[in-house]
Amino acid sequence: MGHIYEVLAQKHELTLFSQPRTSQLPAAPSGYELPHASRVAARITSVSEALWLTAPVLSGAALRLTRPRVLPELVRRSDVAIVEHPWQFAEVARHARGCRLVLSEHNVEAEKFADFARAAGKRLAARPWLAYIERMERDAVTRADLVLAVSAADRDGLVERYGVDPTRVAVAPNGADLGEIVPAGAGERAAARRSLGLPGDRPVVMFAGSDVTPNRRGLDWVRELARRTDRYTFLVVGRVGGRARREGSVVFTGFVRDFATCLAAADVALCPIEFGGGTKIKLIESLAAGLPTIAFEESLHGLDARDGEQVLVAGKSADELLGALDRLGADPGVAARLGTAARAHAEEHHDWRAIAAGVEAALVELVERRPAAARAAPRSAALRG
């Protein structure tokens, strides 16, 4: 939602109330963001992430315990409060008086974390957490004036699981900054590889992600490919790989701020993700960069990309993944055609500015459905991250 907030802030009064983690403190206001700089709240949220599959499910409890003075005032003077994820919804809703409540669902959380538990082999131990997550999500989806889902598949999943009125669920896809992320030419690719210290004599295959269980399983596939072949350099981008280092033909960047350079350095993007919900933003950004992309079928959840047209779908085996890589290497025409179609697909379906315009229209319509007397105050938005 970050790019959407940037667009909304250009036309509307907007404040983003955020909850930093312990590692992000001390936090100070910047731009339109107002962080809740409470060490107690940050500690509670960080502990809940560490206890179970990186889920900040106790962040709402952290708000109730620490009672930030600014939150009630912020919600009450706003026309719309957008709450990202269900964790803090009940606490924000407690202060709403005439303010429209919007739940921004990045996934069907109950399904996503059940899938995470399967990936981690913790289905039995996860049952209390999963029940808690489902209760929170059901309450938030039921009480929200509007729910934003990242795909039609997620919208249908929310409707079926919780019985929510379909007219209260709008689709706001994940997207990419198409101005910043563009296909790289040969010179730009060579420069990007030099800046990352990558060898120039082998194709670069990129895998990117945060440090969550499904991405760790994806990293296992990358390591298996690297054990089987020395024909490629595998570039692992983001926290999923831990610190920056090299392991043979695998190069780990650690956390990076300049993801566009990593995209420019790559010849192929790899997304071997079997678990998790929502849509994969890094996959969308790979398509935007015009990279021929190899993915498991599960990685395409919620996207309209088709096998052989915008992506190559591989079966869940190292042999099939290697076969897809070798096919692209042996036929540059196929790779170029996939890359061109991938970029066109991103332009049509995943441009952040077009997505933001759709969200803005939905929010304006939501506010204008209120009685005229309730619309007399200046319009603003209280946004939670």
Burial class (CB in 10 A: 0-12, 13-18, 19+), 166: exposed
Note the pTM of the prediction, 2 decimals.
Answer: 0.87
Band (125; pLDDT cuts 50, 70, 90): low
In whole numbers, what is the pLDDT of the chain averaged over residues?
Answer: 89
Per-residue DSSP letter, 261: H
Half-sphere exposure of 125 (CA within 13 A, CB side): 10
The reported pLDDT for the residue numbered 49 is 73
In 10 A of CB 69, how many CB atoms?
8
Q: How far apart are CA 216 and CA 19, in angstroms?
A: 25
Band (207; pLDDT cuts 50, 70, 90): very high
- DSSP H/E element including 138: helix 127-143
For the chain, domains (ranges, CATH) are 2-175+352-384 (3.40.50.2000), 186-349 (3.40.50.2000)
More confident residue, 266 or 114: 266
The reported pLDDT for the residue numbered 22 is 61
Band (124; pLDDT cuts 50, 70, 90): low
Question: What percent of the chain shows pLDDT beyond 70?
Answer: 91
* Mean pLDDT confidence for 232-236: 98
Structure tokens at 178: 């198409």
Structure tokens at 72: 């009630």
Q: How far apart are CA 231 and CA 223, in angstroms?
A: 14
Strands (E), the chain: 13-18, 33-35, 80-84, 100-105, 146-149, 169-171, 204-208, 233-237, 245-247, 250-252, 268-271, 293-295, 312-313, 380-384
Q: By C-alpha distance, which of 62, 36, 66 is closest to 49? A: 62
**Is residue 340 over pLDDT 70?**
yes
**Is residue 52 over pLDDT 70?**
no
The reported pLDDT for the residue numbered 371 is 54
**Residue located via tokens 């030099």:** 194
The reported pLDDT for the residue numbered 20 is 75
Q: How far apart are CA 292 and CA 262, in angstroms?
A: 14
Per-residue DSSP letter, 67: -
* Mean pLDDT confidence for 87-93: 93
